[in-house]
Amino acid sequence: MAMEKTCPVCGARLTNKLIFEYFFYGTSHEIKCPVCGHCLRPVKEPIPFMLCYFIGLISMVLPMLYFLFIRGYDFVYSLLLTLPLIIIEIITACILTFVRIRFQEVRC
Ligand SMILES: [Zn+2]
């Protein structure tokens, strides 16, 4: 699996720390190549945000409805049972983003 991300200008390896910056600041954030100083931005959203949102919603709402109405648990307990699913979903989305992210040069 090609986990290594490189600068499209000079080919330098981009550190994980730089890639994680993108997680905190979003797609509009630019990172600077530590070697050549060019500004880099992800090519596009590695995974579509709306898709994540939709899957997240479905994976939360369906189990909630199941626990609430079919099993008859109360709201807080149903939410607690649903929580691990949501956490797994978020972790999966992060890993997918990290694996699929590619950078392009942009004007600073
Ligand atoms: Zn570079």
CA–centroid distance, residue 37 to ligand 1 (Å): 6
- Model pLDDT, residue 66: 92
CA–centroid distance, residue 42 to ligand 1 (Å): 14
User: What does the pLDDT look like over 9-45, one tens digit per residue?
Assistant: 999 998 888 888 877 777 677 888 999 999 998 887 7
Q: Do 7 and 36 touch, CB atoms closer than 8 A?
A: yes
CA–centroid distance, residue 5 to ligand 1 (Å): 11
Kindly give, in sequence order, each residue whose CB lies less than 8 Å from that of residue 93, ignoring residues fewer than 6 positions away: 47, 52, 56
